[in-house]
Amino acid sequence: MPASFNRRNFIKTSALTGAAVTLTHSIKAFSPAKKDKVRMGIIGAGFRSHEHMGNFLQRDDVEITAIADPQQRSVDEAMEVFKKYNRPQPVIYKNGNEDYKNLLKRDDVDAVIICSPWEWHSIQAIDAMKAGKIPGVEVCGAIKLQECWDVVNTSEKTGIPLMMMENVCYRRDVMAVLNMVRQGMFGELLHGQGGYEHDLRGVLFNDGVTAYDSGVEFGPKAYSEAQWRTEHNKNRNGELYPTHGLGPVAVMMNINKGNRMTKLSSIASKARGLHKYIVDHPKGGKDHPNAKVEFKCGDIVNTQIQCANGETILLTHDVSSPRPYNLGFRIQGTEGLWQDFGSGGKNQGHIYFQKEMNHSHRWDDTTKWLTDNDHPLWKKYGAQAEGAGHGGMDFFVDHAFIECVKRGVEFPLDVYDYASWYAITPLSEKSILEGGQVQNIPDFTRGKWNTRKQIFALNDDY
């Protein structure tokens, strides 16, 4: 990565959007005492944080005491969320890139949600744990492999846990399929697929082409993800956003809890979509300065993964092409198959069970299967989750975070999930650079995956 990218300051990138102590099981105790109320800090007050804020501000057991973000626009828009729910405004830290560290010094902050741009996630998570604050970290992939180890080592050394805030693991249809997997309806799992297939061209350029200034600096019209995400597509070629597609499959395959990912290989298509978008845009054209920018990330990146128990996983990254939104899930076992087409609603996927369908070789509508096997958590909290972000799944990931902090119990998606899922990005970059060569995926649990037990969505309350 160019030095200028690594040093991109938090004012522009924040957005509108040691030796380790080896534990016998996994990170557990948040603090000796259980909590009746969680005092929260928010790092990065852009668009993504607003969903978390809304969920937290509706709870009597959460108080948001402080927010850190150096962009005034982000702060102003965040304050509108507090006004909506008639809650006291928090203390604001907006004095430059490092002011979030002053938030971490506060005695009235127990935990933080990190919603900053990708390159800040691990840095701020490590700072939070060293300060004794429990981090919940938003999704992306690592910049460098070493940062994954740094996060694990810090968590183990400090005893402070971390939650991977992967909301798609809580999508209603995904959890219904998880319920069916656990009932053995698919038989023994063989293969899973997922990805991030989402036309982001308008997001990367704020629905124009002038917000991005020839790949050197961002123009004054840039906001939200165009301030930083575009730069990743310019400078990196790999699986840049793995966790939405990987997380649900990893949970179904018990990754890091009786199973683990062992190696991967990635390949990428040529990069054409973003250049074509600029040339074809009414405000662009072949002579536009951004038409000269060389975007490195292939339009389609495929990553195949091998697991210790013999399963395979295929991830697809596709954000530069004209297409409908789809995460492309597929769960295949010795007895059945589910494929997802769409954004998680009913009638947008297909399912097949050879015994129930009498070897008909015909797909069945998913509606009845997903309804009959609705996960108990959705049955319990579905009405409460209605209206929460991303079809309600944001409610569940936030609810799990708060309940675990309050009770002082393990997170369902933990620091080892964070490290292994985030590691896919730099490993895929290395694989593509080496012509698709196989890369070993580190065992961030240091062998504990053999004995660790699955806890995701097995509690009847979170």
The domain that holds 259 is classified in CATH as: 3.30.360.10
Name residues whose C-beta falls within 8 Å of residue 349's C-beta, 6 or more positions apart in sequence: 173, 329, 338, 339, 340, 341, 342, 366
**Cβ neighbour number for residue 404 with a 10 Å cutoff:** 24
Same domain, yes or no: 326 and 441: yes
Strand, coil or helix: 344: coil
Residue 251 one-letter amino acid? V
Pair 255, 248: CB distance under 8 Å: no
Q: Residue 119 gets which letter from DSSP?
A: G
Q: What pLDDT score does 212 carry?
A: 57
User: How many domains is the chain partitioned into structurally?
Assistant: 2
What is the C-alpha separation between 289 and 333, in angstroms, rounded? 50
Q: What is the pLDDT along the chain (462 residues), one digit of tens a residue?
A: 333 333 344 444 444 333 333 333 344 444 546 889 999 999 999 888 999 999 999 999 999 999 999 999 999 999 999 999 999 999 999 999 899 999 999 999 999 999 999 999 999 999 999 999 999 999 999 999 999 999 999 999 999 999 999 999 999 999 999 999 999 999 999 999 999 999 999 888 886 665 555 443 334 466 678 788 999 999 999 999 999 999 999 999 999 999 999 999 999 999 999 999 999 998 889 998 889 999 999 999 999 999 999 999 999 999 999 999 999 999 999 999 999 987 655 557 899 999 888 878 889 989 999 999 999 999 999 999 988 878 889 999 999 999 999 999 999 999 999 999 999 999 999 999 999 999 999 999 999 999 999 999 999 899
Angle of the 243-252 helix axis to the 172-182 helix axis, nearest 10 = 20
- Do 243 and 327 share a domain, yes or no? yes
Domain end position, chosen among 168, 192, 219: 168
Do 160 and 178 lie in one domain? The reply is no
Do residues 138 and 168 touch, judged by C-beta distance below 8 A?
A: no
Q: Among residues 168, 197, 214, which one ends one of the domains?
A: 168
Check if the beta carbon of residue 138 is closer than 8 Å to that of residue 160. no
Q: Are residues 223 and 235 in the same domain?
A: yes
CATH number at residue 71: 3.40.50.720
Query: What does R_g of the chain's alpha carbons equal in angstroms?
Result: 22
Inside any domain, residue 384:
no
Name residue 345's amino acid: G
The answer as to whether 387 is a domain residue is no
Tell me what pLDDT residue 202 has.
Answer: 87
- What is the number of H-type helices and E-type strands within the chain? 17, 17
Say yes or no: 328 and 349 in one domain.
yes
DSSP helix/strand/coil, 196: strand
Query: Any residues with CB less than 8 A from the CB of 203 and at least 6 apart, and which?
Result: 224, 225, 226, 229
Q: CB of 227 within 8 A of CB of 15?
A: yes
Nearest Cα residue to 390 out of 229, 176, 172, 205: 172
d(CA 404, CA 408) in angstroms, rounded, equals: 6
Count Cβ atoms below 10 Å from residue 157 Cβ, excluding itself: 15
Q: How far apart are the two ends of the chain, measured CA to CA in Å? A: 39
Say if residue 43 is in the same domain as residue 64.
yes
Q: What is the pTM of this model?
A: 0.91
Q: In this structure, is residue 261 part of a structural domain?
A: yes
Same domain, 194 and 117: no
Q: Which residues of 181-201 are buried (b: 16+ CB within 10 A; e: fewer)?
A: beeebbeebebbbbbbbbbbb
388: in domain: no
**Separation of alpha carbons 230 and 232, rounded Å:** 5
Q: What backbone phi and psi angles, to 5 degrees, belong to 255?
A: -65, 135
What is the span of the domain harbouring residue 116? 3-168
